[in-house]
Structure 1
Amino acid sequence: MTTTVQRRVQLTIAALGVVVTLIGAVIIAGAYRNDAKIDANRATAVAEVIAADRLHAAVNFVTPDGVLRNPKLGLLYPTQLSTGQRILVDYDASDPDTLARPAGRGASLSVAPALSVIGAGWIIVIVLMVGVAEIGRRSRRSKLDA
């Protein structure tokens, strides 16, 4: 492997690390944006969890106008919820079918998972870059020995 090829491969790998970092930053920024939208026009209701797993929770709640709501994307921050549970939810009163979260939870819950994604991504990038450097070094050394 020539040094030019090695450098290009390593730059591509580093670019993937930057992309992973940007994805993590967008996750955090999106969570804070959603919270800001809810906080700007917040209403609270009692909701029933109709389906829940580790990453998603669907709920039904009734708004003050008597309409049964079911946010199409489920709840933000749905961890530790179980089917049949009744919880308080904060929602965006101007758009109750889109943004809702369990009362008391916020965007700060998205920081640790996003940082974990970024950290794992960069560990993989570093391992790959060291591996490419080693392959390049061995390739150049074998050409000198021949």
Structure 2
Amino acid sequence: MTARSERARRIGWFTVLSVASLLTVMCVGLLFAAIRNDNSIQAHLGTANATVESVAFDRTIIQYETPDGIVHSPANGVLYPSGLSAGQLVLIEYDATDPDLARVAGRSATLTLLPLGTTILFTWLIAAPLLWWLRRLIKRDRAAHPAPEPTEAPVS
């Protein structure tokens, strides 16, 4: 193989490692964000009955009224919405200092562990053999075409 193909394989190896590492860091960051949101809600806990307005793949929109009479509908939806359907009445917990931060009552960041854990697992189940294979090809290329030894100038 040529130096060009070895370089391409090295770039591929670093790319696979970078993408897998980035996905892992993003998943861990998402878990910490969910924990932070739960802690914010728990620190200033408010509860209300909410009506589920719409359910989409990316968010579930709810509408609820706080004790001060203001109706809230968080633009980002409710946290941990699995199993909800439009028109359903559900008990929610929200951050009294930031009513747009709401979650379904009784649910927490532990619900994110399974999807995030499986995402990390499958990422590395794909990346690890690919990294191993690319590393093996790189080593084989280096063994087949060793770098020339630098010649030393005679010392006078």
| TM exceeding 0.5 | yes
Residue 34 (structure 2) aligns with: 31
Q: Secondary structure at the match of 1:72?
A: coil
Structure 2, unpaired ranges of 5+? 146-156
Deviates more, 1:99-108 or 1:47-56: 47-56
Residue 98 (structure 2) aligns with: 95
Confirm whether residue 51 of structure 1 aligns to residue 33 of structure 2: no
The separation in 2 between residues aligned to 1:53 and 1:7, in whole angstroms, is 41
CA RMSD of aligned residues (A): 2.5
Alignment deviations for residues 77-105 of structure 1 (CA, whole Å, 9 cap, x no partner): 11000000000000001110x20001000
What's the TM-score once normalised by structure 1's chain length?
0.84
Structure ID, larger Rg: 2
The separation in 2 between residues aligned to 1:54 and 1:79, in whole angstroms, is 10
Alignment deviations for residues 56-79 of structure 1 (CA, whole Å, 9 cap, x no partner): 211000100111110111000110
Give the C-alpha shift of residue 119 in structure 1: 1.0
Where do 1:50-129 residues align within 5 Å? 50-96=53-99, 98-129=100-131
What's the TM-score once normalised by structure 2's chain length?
0.79
The count of residues paired between Structure 1 and Structure 2 equals 143
1:50–1:57 Cα contact (<8 Å) kept: yes
Paired AA for residue 20 in structure 2: G
